[in-house]
Each structure stands twice: as C-alpha cells, then as structure tokens.
Amino acid sequence: MTMKLHCFGESGNAYKAALTLTLSDAEWEPVFVDFFNGATRTPAFRALNVMGEVPVLVDGDLVLTQSGVIQDYVSSKTGKLGGRSAAERREVLRWMFFDNHKLSGVAGGLRFNLNFLPEDKRDAAVNAYLAQRLTSALRIVETALAGRQWLAGAEPTIADLACCGYLYYPEPFGFDRAAWPLIDGWLDRIAALPGWKAPYDLMPGSPADRK
C-alpha cells in the first residue's frame, strides 16, 4: 500500500520525512497541504492532526505526525537508515533530539520570519537572537563532522536527514555553506545519495507558485 505524506514544499520538517521515504525506497506519494491559504487550520486537517502541522504520514489506518516520529517509523518499516547497532541507534536519537531543539527548531523559525512574514511583522531583535542560536548549533555540527562522513555512524542515517532538513533551502536565513566547509561536504554527500532531490523538487508547493 502506498503511504501518503501530507506536506508542502516550503516545510523543512516535511522535507525530512519526504527525504527519508525517498532514500529508504519506500512507496509513497505527496498530498499537498495549502499551508499559506490556511489549510492546516481547517477542521478537516485538525481532525487528521490536532496539532495543525505538517508532515502527516498516513499508512493504511495508521496516522503519524511529527517528522522525527515519521522518520523513525519509516526507518523501522524499511530496515534502512536507522543505524547498524544499538549504540548507533542511540546516537541517531541523540542527533535527532538535538536537531529538533537546537538546529531545525531554530532554523525553521528564523527562515520563516525572514522570508514569509510580512516585513512590518519581522522583529529584528528576535531574529538576531535566533541567528546567534543557529550559528551555535551549526558550530556543533561542524565540529562533529571532523574526521567523519556522517553524524551517527559509518553510514547515512535519519540523523543526517533530520539535521540537513532546512539547509538545502535557497531562501536566505543566515546559513552560508561556504562558511562551514565540513557541513558543505556533508550536504554534498547526502545530495549524492541515489534518489535525493531538493525540497521543491521532492514536494509540491514553492514560493514561486504564489507569485
């Protein structure tokens, strides 16, 4: 049965789930959620996910929300991208929790504020704080990649696909790949994996659609 991922192209969290589905060779298809026209606030969507967020994965009667949960489910179901030992599995989870709190949790908000909020609603002090936190998180990732190819083991895992979730987007949000050479090489390695696609090529919806 084909899994359905409710998503839209601008969502870095949805991209993590979509990329995990793709690189694990799972059978799936995207279901476009028109976020910018209020789709996640409708009663129908709230019945699917009370949190009013994408991604949402539907696999038969099973409905899952939150990107990390979806990544874990897909990895467990396919037997791919989850680490090769219990120790690696714990390391995978460590990086995914880090990403949720320190990396994507900051990058997502900053990118939204700087690109999708009306200019008169952008708070310079808030964005400066988020930019500082993002730099600190990127420094941790850069340090961790010294002498290794992947974050959690000898092979790519869902930890890599979580932490890269916002870093392929073209909109400016304070991330310059050239300033982080080890992250830059890591992103190139992920992009070289068979089946990889950039966010707007993998999921429906992009800023260009609204122009």
pLDDT tens per residue across span 172-199: 999 999 999 999 999 999 999 999 999 9
For the chain, the three-class secondary structure string (H helix, E strand, C coil) is CCEEEEECCCCHHHHHHHHHHHHCCCCEEEEECCHHHCHHHCHHHHHHCCCCCCCEEEECCEEEECHHHHHHHHHHHHCCCCCCCHHHHHHHHHHHHHHHHHHHHHHHHHHHHHHCCCHHHCCHHHHHHHHHHHHHHHHHHHHHCCCCCCCCCCCCCHHHHHHCCCCCCCCCCCCCHHHCHHHHHHHHHHHCCCCCCCHHHHCCCCHHHHC
Domain ranges of the chain: 3-81+196-210, 86-191
Fold of 86-191: Glutathione S-transferase Yfyf (Class Pi); Chain A, domain 2 (1.20.1050)
Q: What is the pLDDT of residues 56-95, one digit of tens each?
A: 999 999 999 999 999 999 999 999 999 999 999 999 999 9
What is the residue-averaged pLDDT of the chain?
Answer: 97
Is 3-81+196-210 assigned to CATH 3.40.30.10?
A: yes
Q: What is the pLDDT of residue 211?
A: 75
94-110 pLDDT, tens per residue? 999 999 999 999 999 99
Chain segment 121-160, per-residue pLDDT in tens: 999 999 999 999 999 999 999 999 999 999 999 999 999 9
